[in-house]
Amino acid sequence: MRLLMIGDVVGRAGRRAVKVNLEDLKREFNLDLVIANGENAAGGAGITRETAQELFASGVDVLTMGNHVWNVKDAINYIEHEKRIIRPANYPPGTPGAGSNIFETRRKVKVGVINLAGRVFLQSLDCPFRKADEALTRIKKTTDIVVVDFHAEATSEKVAMGWYLAGRVSAVVGTHTHIQTADERILPGGTAYLTDLGMTGPRDSVIGVKKETVIDKFISQMPQRFEVANGPYQFNAALLEIDEYNGEASSIIRIQNYE
């Protein structure tokens, strides 16, 4: 079976990129499931019902999130009831929404999706390694096809998670840095790995934001109001080929399309 995982969708340009590219990719690759990281879908930070609906209408099946999950305040109510959105599983108990879920493809194949967030340079959450084990134990009762979106900053934490889950899940891919990495590989035991999917959003930017503002902030150290950049998009994703009988990945191919 074929899964597509799309890197952090940023703002209007990102949502447009998803719409345009998914149409082609679905036709070309006969995709079974499309997962996108949606933490920056609404104006660059957070998600709204409208932006999520737009992404679902474009062909996304599952939205994963990250450290910006609660930036738009109303998301708390929305995510609680929208089963197609999952937020990092290692938020504390009592957090609205779910950190993993099992989704069914059109051909009725069950796929577990787990969202985790890193702690290095980021928030003080519960241990993502222990949470991965917990979610996995639950999901494995139903299906052996499991993919993980590990939303994290530090390469060490992401690579460590890849090795930790190697042979136990179909794929560990990272998000959050908004820059696609070139280290895709199949780890021993059939686990596809990529440190970061990259970003789907405005290309001529600093990770989605107007570049002049970010440069100015680094130099002046004065607060800036970040705005999503304009201009042509980039589409960053990875295509996974997974054996639907044992959950092992046989290939991971990075995708980069430009406007």
Q: Which residues in this chain contact Fe ion in the complex, by CB under 5 A?
A: 8, 39-40, 66-67, 176
Minimal distance in Å, beta carbon 240 to a copy of itself? 16
DSSP string for residues in 51-73: HHHHHHHTT--EEE--TTTTSST
**Please, are residues 201 and 40 in contact by the beta-carbon 8 Å criterion?**
yes
Choice among 12, 15, 16, 68 that is catalytic: 68
Of residues 184-213, those binding a copy of itself (CB under 8 A)? 195-196, 198, 206-207, 209, 211
Environment class of residue 221 by beta-carbon count within 10 Å: exposed (0-12), middle (13-18) or buried (19+)? Answer: exposed
182 is a contact residue toward a copy of itself (CB under 8 A): yes
Quick one: tokens of 196?
A: 């970061």
| x/- map, 92-121, a copy of itself, by CB under 8 A | xxxx-----------------------xxx
230 is a contact residue toward a copy of itself (CB under 8 A): no
Our answer to whether residue 81 is catalytic in this structure is no
Of residues 159-178, those binding a copy of itself (CB under 8 A)? 159-160, 163-164, 177-178
Q: Is 67 annotated as a binding residue?
A: yes
Lookup result for tokens 């705005």: 227
Quick one: tokens of 26?
A: 């679905």
Minimal distance in Å, beta carbon 167 to a copy of itself? 13
What 8-state DSSP symbol labels residue 192? E
How many Å apart are CA 236 and CA 6, to the nearest integer?
6
Separation in Å, CA 115 to CA 132, 138, 223: 9, 14, 31
How many Å apart are CA 103 and CA 111, to the nearest integer?
5
**Please, are residues 176 and 67 in contact by the beta-carbon 8 Å criterion?**
yes
Which of residues 155, 227, 243, 259 is near a copy of itself by CB under 8 A? Answer: 155
For binding to a copy of itself (CB under 8 A), which residues are involved? Answer: 70-71, 76, 91-95, 119-121, 123-127, 129-130, 153-157, 159-160, 163-164, 177-183, 195-196, 198, 206-207, 209, 211, 214-215, 218-223, 254, 256
For the annotated binding site for Fe cation, the residues are 8, 39-40, 67, 151, 176, 178
Catalytic machinery residues:
68
